[in-house]
Amino acid sequence: MAKIRRTLAASFCAVLLSGAAPAVAQDEVQTFNAFALAAASGTIVRAAEKQLVVAGTLAGPFFVETDEGPIPSGRVACASSVRIDQATSRQTGSGACTFTAQDGATAWGEWECAGYELVGCRGTFKLNGGTARLAGATGEGTLIWRPTAHELKKQLDGSTLDNATGILLWRDFKIKTK
């Protein structure tokens, strides 16, 4: 029974975010997992002898996971600022994202994370509004950013970050619409 509920919840969220739902259940919290295949670009600035700051964007297609596989649900674009301590390889980051569903409805939120250079980071993502059928949407979940390490490593030798790739993951994401 729990598996059926998870499947229904994930399917509901996929339909909700993809724009195919004719009506949205109000004040009901749904939990799901999702991911985006993201391209990263931006600028790398040296902030101290062993400190780098990467200011950039992450963007790509967004998918909601179901028991039947991922469902295309739109696109996501994120602004980010990540500080890398080259002495310890620790990194911290923060930013904001906008999700655009296939029907044009949008939702947006903010995130922060911590982790290690070339491995990625993990933190919290908080959804704090939207437009059209996602107006007033709120939610929270775990955000994980996993860059393609070999591409990012090459880019750190220069001053720009061009089309590095990776995956953004949202785990146990809870969303509530109003």
Average pLDDT, the chain: 83
- Residue 156's pLDDT is 58
- For residue 9, the SS3 value is helix
Helix ranges restricted to H, the chain: 2-18, 149-155
User: Each residue of 89-136: pLDDT tens digit?
Assistant: 999 999 999 999 999 999 999 999 999 988 889 999 999 999 999 999
Average pLDDT (143-170) is 75
- For residue 83, the SS3 value is strand
151 pLDDT more than 60? no
- Residue 22's pLDDT is 35
State the Cα–Cα distance between residues 104 and 112, nearest whole angstrom: 26
The residue type found at 162 is: D
DSSP string covering 98-133: EEE-TTS-EEEEEEEEEEETTTEEEEEEEEEEESGG
Q: Under CATH, what is the fold of the domain 2-176?
A: Porin (2.40.160)
pTM, full prediction = 0.81
- Residue 24's pLDDT is 44
- Beta bridge partners, 63, equal 35, 72
CA separation, residue 95 to residues 57, 77, 125, 144 (Å) = 9, 11, 9, 13
CA separation, residue 96 to residues 69, 130, 177 (Å) = 27, 13, 19
User: Each residue of 46-85: pLDDT tens digit?
Assistant: 888 889 898 999 999 999 999 999 999 999 999 999 999 9
Cβ contacts of residue 40 below 8 Å, gap of 6+?
56, 57, 58, 80, 147, 152, 161, 163, 164, 165, 166
User: Each residue of 7-38: pLDDT tens digit?
Assistant: 334 433 444 555 444 344 567 889 999 999 99
